[in-house]
Amino acid sequence: MTGTVHFSELPCSDSEHKIGVATLDNAAALNALTLDMIQLLKDKFEQWQDDENIVCILLEGQGEKAFCAGGDVRTMHDVMRDRTPDETKEYCTRFFSVEYECDYLLHTYYKPIIAWGEGIVMGGGMGIYMGSSHKVVTPSSKIAMPEISIGLYPDVGGTWFLNRLDEGVGLFLGLTGAVVNATDAIGTHLADHLVLAEHKSTLIEQLQVAEWESVEDAYEVVTEILESLSEEVIDGIPEPQMLPYMTPIQEASKGDSLLQIVDSIFAIEGGSQWIETAKTNLRTGSPISAYICYRQVTDYHHISLADCFRLELSLSVRCALLGEFQEGVRARLVDKDGSPKWKFANIAQVDIAVIDNLFESLWSEDEHPLSQLGHY
């Protein structure tokens, strides 16, 4: 998979300050992130953070279809299929390390980052989206963490941001891979501002003419501009799909075990296509992924942001070595037969020892590839 990131610096009216713009360009793959693209992003964002003339950053995807549909899991599949376990471990450690370092950088950035989440925002795209200070959706936005369908789990900081949604919401989204539209994204706090797609140029213009030389709080300036644009959204707002089910979703999450929670989700009534698709995703998804997600939410909701990424790096590499991830990508994205042969037929049959092993770190604290990440 090929792809790149384009960077530009737009001058502001005071001639001193600039707006950084990063555009993900891998349109043929819905702007999925290759390793090279992630490295480019990380390097440029580090540079911009130290550049006093850059006042804020706009992060966008090329085209209207997608902000970013995920990471380059096809290449990862080929590595898992064709290389030795040691080579797979080496490649996946490198890929996920750079990705999580980039995600962490965005989460802890000290300049405003506007993520223009038009179209599809999924998987790896959620890592950079949720790390941004100002998360924008347009009426066409579709947000999801669909990893259960490919035998992975909600990574890229999911252990952090899913645990900071309202009770039950993060667990439900992780277990079902449900797609959330713009209205639901605002209602569940996955996004901050709903803006019309045609107002992106207005946003950029207003950022350029802001009086940055006298600004004390750049975040407040960006927020005020986005809020004013949000007030202009009257027509074309999608009907909520998730919000009508919030009560039964939150009740289901109170179960004493994963089995009980899953049964409660299956028992949710309503009959809409949205809830039925969510149930199908859970029913046909990886039972191992479901268990990982359950533990992320129940056992790791108090750890620091840095520790979340350290946990996820080991988890992700172990998933690559286990074979479940490879099989999921094969069935869903490579052969596209839609029939993954999971290691366990259902959640009730999962060997808990397998889950326990996945959560054992591959590295000691000092040797961990992400040991340098601070705490947040």
pLDDT attached to residue 246: 97
pLDDT attached to residue 134: 98
pLDDT attached to residue 1: 60
Write b or e for each residue in 183-202: b if 16 or more Cβ atoms lie within 10 A of its Cβ, otherwise e.
bbbbbbebbbbbbbbebbee
**CB-side exposure of 230: number of CA atoms within 13 Å?**
17
pLDDT attached to residue 375: 54
pLDDT attached to residue 2: 80
Q: Across the beta sheet with 120-122, what order do the strands follow? A: 66-68, 120-122, 142-144, 180-181
In tens, the pLDDT along 88-131 reads: 999 999 999 999 999 999 999 999 999 999 999 999 999 999 99
Give the chain's residues under pLDDT 50.
376
pLDDT attached to residue 376: 46
Asked if 121 and 300 touch (Cβ cutoff 8 Å), the reply is: no
Question: What single letter denotes the amino acid at residue 212?
Answer: W
SS3 category, 26: coil
pLDDT attached to residue 236: 82
pTM: 0.96
**DSSP string computed for 199-233:** GHHHHHHHHHHS-GGG-S-HHHHHHHHHHHHHTT-
Question: What is the set of domains in the chain, with CATH numbers?
Answer: 4-358 (3.90.226.10)
In tens, the pLDDT along 325-336 reads: 999 999 999 999
